[in-house]
Amino acid sequence: MKINFEHRGNFNRFEKFLVKSLHIQPLVRPILEKYGRMGVEALKEATPKDTGKTSESWKYEIIRDNDGQYQIVWSNTNVVDGWANIAILLQYGHATANGGFVKGTDYINPAIEKVFQGMANEAWEEVKQHAK
């Protein structure tokens, strides 16, 4: 099971500018790798810990589609009984066996927002540096 994160806006035009105008496509993947690892660390740190298994189960993957667009996909592999992704249950809450409900805690969005901001800032610095 994968957890997909969505963020408003995208870097499509920016990436095309970098790739076509600056010919720096080889730089794109290492930057995404850097922020993929940073996202894993941020999610690990922000994940509520009981046993620590969920916080240690974060990973990322970089996907490039047929149009040449890149995505970083973060996922958590701590799944119980083949269907219950613990990271999702912690984020959104869940029912209990006795009919109660445990409220979720939004820990994913604040953690990953810092990574998105860092990536945007670094990308902007690259544009300014290469635009000279």
Residue-level pLDDT at 3: 55
User: How is residue 104 annotated by DSSP?
Assistant: P
Dump pLDDT digits (tens) for 84-132.
999 999 999 999 999 999 999 999 999 999 999 998 888 788 777 766 6
What are the C-alpha distances in Å from 108 to residues 4, 11, 53, 120?
11, 21, 16, 18
Which amino acid, residue 71?
Q
Task: Compare 12 and 72 and report the one with higher pLDDT.
Answer: 72
Which residues lie below 8 Å from residue 112, measured CB to CB, with a gap of 6+?
A: 5, 7, 39, 42, 43, 74
Which residues lie below 8 Å from residue 78, measured CB to CB, with a gap of 6+?
A: 53, 54, 57, 85, 86, 87
> Could you tell me the residue ranges of all domains in the chain?
12-130
85 bridge partner residues: 79
Closest CA to 16 of 127, 129, 132, 128: 127
Residue-level pLDDT at 126: 73
Mean pLDDT across 20-36: 74
